[in-house]
Structures are given as C-alpha cells and as structure tokens.
A and B are shown apart, each in its own frame.
Chain A
Amino acid sequence: MMTRTIFSGFGGQGVLSMGFTLANAAMLEGKYVTYLPSYGVEVRGGTANCTVVVSDEEIASPVASEPEFVVAMNQPSFNRFQNILSSGGLICVNASLVNTDSVRMDIELLSIPTSELAEKLGTIKVGNMIILGAFIKASGIISFDAMIKNLAELLGEGKSKLIKLNKEALEMGFDYVKE
C-alpha cells in the first residue's frame, strides 16, 4: 500500500512542518517514506508545498503527479492541487480561508474551520497541527496513538515546551472528524 499526499498553503502556515511531522511519524512506524519540499522560486508569503509518500515497500519516486490526498491551507493551493488529485481522492481544506464552491464532484472534501478551532486553544499558530490531526483521522495513513506517543521526538528538543499545546491541537483536529 502506497499513499501520496501534497501539503500546501502560504509560507508561514506550517505547511512544510506538517508534512515533515507526518513523514517522521511514518518513519517511526517502520514504513518507507520520502519527503520532498518544493524548492522553487518561492518567496516569504508566497505558496509552499511538500509531497510525502508513505509505503510498505520501496518508493520509486518522491514526486506525486496524481496524489491520493491533498491538504490545502489557502485558496491558491486549493485551486491548483484539487485538479491533480486522483479520482476518489480526499482533499482536506482549511475552511477558514478557502471557498470550496468549485470543488470537483469526484473527490471527497473535508472542511476544517481551522482558525475557529485554533482560537479555542488561544493561538492560531497550531492551526497546522489541528488540520494534521483531522487529516490523520480521515486518511488513516499512520496510527494517531503512536504519533502522540512519539510527539516529543517528532517535535525535537527545541519545542519541548510546546508538546502539550501541539498534542491538544492534534487531538482537537482528530476529534473534529467523525468516524
């Protein structure tokens, strides 16, 4: 089984760290994984994206021309990446910023009111972790429990103070998505 996900949004929304956290968590589960950041002529405030491939066997290419999953944190990313999503794929959207009226009919849409949820935690900075929690519930790519267990390792030493907040954010997103 192989899944390809593109995380996308504005630079500064934590898009690359979302992908890196997922890739790292998948690695700790013993899966094959590649993480490829976009390194084009991106500028601060411009768009950023990364591709994460998680698989039970060797990964031939870290590029996803037709991903199964897309996480779109802003409107330009939604417009661009919903078009390359494979039919029947899932797009997980930051509903606080994205108008999804134009969504394709053959894909599944998951709207998360990220900003509204983040306000309950007192900071918009963990919006990416809320949407990552929701995405993991909806996609089932990795085990959520294992990820929470490994959170200290995933966030690294520099962020040890922020473990509790990130855990709450991930759980909030995870619980927001119904079975």
Chain B
Amino acid sequence: MKKLMSGNAALGEAAILSGCMCYFGYPITPQNELTEYMAKRMNELGRVFIQSESEIAAINMVLGASATGARAMTSSSSPGMSLKQEGISYLAADELPAVVVDMVRGGPGMGNISPAQSDYLQATRGGGHGDYKTIVLAPGSVQELTEIVPLAFDLADQYRNPVIILGDGMLGQMMEPVDFDNIKPPKEYPKDYVLTGAEGRPSRMIRSLLFDTKEEEEHNWKLVRKYHRMQQNEIRYETFLIDDAEMVVVAYGIGARIARGAIKRLRQDNIKVGMVRPITAWPFPAPILQELAKTVHEFFVFEMSAGQLIEDVRLALAGQGHIHFYGRPGGVVPTPVELYRIIGRHYYMASGRKQP
C-alpha cells in the first residue's frame, strides 16, 4: 500500500524499519521534517530521540551510541554538515558505524534553503581531517530512499564506518508515493568492539588518539585496506539508454532525475544520449565510465553546483574522451526542458552536424 510522504519523513520511517535505535538532531531547513518525524515515532517506539543543543553535540551523541553497539543516525543540511565533520572524522578513526544524512542546500556560508548539490566534494573526500573515506549514497527519489537507508545501515555495520546519505532540499521536501515493503528486518553484525561493561571479559577501548607514529601509520594503512575493499565491492550505479549512446550524461540524485527527463526528450528527436547515474558517489563508479570510454567520446556532466562531480569524471576518464559541463550552483533547479536544450546544443556542436 503506497503512502504519499515527503522524502524526509520516508527517510525517517525507513531508518526506523532498518533498526535505527537512536536519532540525534538539531533543526535546519530543509531537513526539519525528518527530525519532526523521528521526534514523534521514536518516542512511540520507546527508542531514543534527542534534539541536541548543536550539530556538534548530535554527531558526538551518535559516536557515543554507536560505541555501545546501537544503530544511530543524525541528519542536517550543508552548514550543519560542516559542523559535524569533526565527529565524522572521529567515527572513521574509531571505526564506528553511523548513518549521517545531508539534505544539501545552497552555499557556501549560510547560503539559502533551496536544493543544491554543492557539497559533493565535502561528502566524497572525507570532509573532515585525516586520511579517511565515507561511503556516500545518493538517492534520486523518495521510493529509492527505502533501498538506500537500510543499505546505509548495513554498510555502516559491515565496514564499521560512517555512511553519508547525500540528498538535497528537494528530495527532502518533495512528497511522492512510497511503500516500505522491501525493507527486511535488520541483520545481526559482530559486535566484538562495543563498550557494554567488561564484566566477565577483558576490557576494551575505543580511541583515535595514537601518539606512537608507527601505530598511527599502521592504523591508517588498515583503514586504507578497508577503503580498497569498499571500492572493490560497493560501487553502485544505474545506467539509462547507454547501449547505442553517442553521448553519455553523468549526473546523480535529483540532478539525474532532471537529466532523465531531458534525455527522454532528446531521444524523441533521435539524439542518442544515455546516462550513468552514480548511486555511490564514493566509491565512485569509475570502471563503467572507463568501459564506456572505449566506444563513447562525448561525456556530459550535469550537477547543481559549479563543478564538483566533474572532478571524479575527469579522474575516471583520465584524459580519454571529451567532457562537456553544465552546472547550476546557488540553489537553482533547472528544468528538464532547459537541460534538453543545453545537452542538445552540445551534442550538435560535438557531432559537427547541423542543429535542425
């Protein structure tokens, strides 16, 4: 049975069904409906909800809850995410699972509250200090959240690493029909690191302070090996009409959704454009782009930022092919028709054919 829900509320329900036992949040538009939803539902279920005094407090509460073995989540939007970076770095260093939601808004600074994709690099490059990575999942519809959220909790537990859900203001605010039928009860993961009181067993310690440089270096290489395993096993993406494509669009989240509308129109004009939509922004689906570059020369990056995703596309293609770019920073959401015109023009310029 489908229900009409906002992305924020659907994300909350999906987290609850995925076994989220603790939610800590501090208000910020455009993700407030998630905090509101959790305030009501977590209390009904006898789970933990705390509206913290700040974003920094919230992420540190997540760290504490995670250290006891509980599935814990916090959420925010761009300026608030910047504040959480210290805690995310500690979570990564401590190898603690956590799910952190970012409903991105226009920036930099306070920016505005409109949907944006300008925190891609912050999310995919660790975001805080130190050599660390987070898995970054980028859903494109309210229904897709019901797959992404349980996946986020599972990956966090499996790798003992923070996982970022990278949405945007529109995904959070928009209502769409959604059902939660595909969410299974949460799996059990080994919890041999959690702090539950040492009675009857040797005591444990969770810490990221490693004064001995050799020890710290070893810890870093251990993390790196984990990130390599993620890159090998966790890349996820969706392709759309790439079999005969002469130009391949790369876009994610809401941007990919708008691009899909544009591509459908281009196909009606017999323009052979397809798309690769990264579902994991990190690890980035570089292999599919490298594969496509054997037969396709034209790539088109579209994102609601001044150019961040394009860096990953450049790295993936490593000089092969030609990359076109269209970005709208500042919280502007272009229409599918606008994007249809832009991609069409680039296509004709690249092909040397005359635009009808």
Contact = CB atoms under 8 A, between A and B. Distances in A.
Interface of A: 20, 23-24, 27, 32-37, 39-41, 58-63, 65
Given A27-B2, A27-B4, A34 B29 contact: no
Given A34-B175, A60-B258, 20 more contacts: A20-B4, A20-B175, A23-B4, A27-B4, A33-B4, A34-B176, A35-B174, A35-B176, A36-B170, A36-B173, A36-B174, A37-B173, A39-B173, A60-B257, A60-B336, A61-B258, A61-B335, A62-B170, A63-B170, A63-B333
B260 interface: yes
Contacts of A62: 170, 174
B77 to A, nearest CB: 12
B30 interface: yes
A61 B4 contact: no
Contacts of A40: 113
7 shortest A-B CB distances, which residue pairs?
A60-B261, A35-B175, A60-B336, A27-B177, A62-B174, A36-B174, A24-B4
Contact of A61 (B173, B177, B336): B336
Contacts of B176: 33-35
Chain B interface size range:
20 to 34
Interface string B22-48: 000000011000000000000000000
Interface of B: 2, 4, 29-30, 113, 169-170, 173-177, 257-258, 260-262, 264, 333, 335-337
Contacts of A27: 2, 4, 177
Contacts of A37: 173, 175
Contacts of B337: 65
A39 B174 CA distance: 10
A155 to B, nearest CB: 13
A24 B113 CA distance: 26
B194 to A, nearest CB: 39
Contacts of A65: 335, 337
Nearest to B338: A65
A60 B175 contact: no
Nearest to A65: B335
A61 B333 contact: yes
Nearest to B114: A40
A133 to B, nearest CB: 20
B346 to A, nearest CB: 19
Nearest to B336: A60
B103 to A, nearest CB: 11
17 contacts: A20-B175, A23-B4, A35-B174, A36-B170, A36-B173, A36-B174, A37-B173, A39-B30, A41-B113, A59-B261, A60-B257, A60-B258, A61-B257, A61-B333, A62-B170, A62-B174, A65-B337
B267 to A, nearest CB: 13
Nearest to B264: A60
Nearest to A33: B177
Contact of B260 (A20, A24, A60): A60
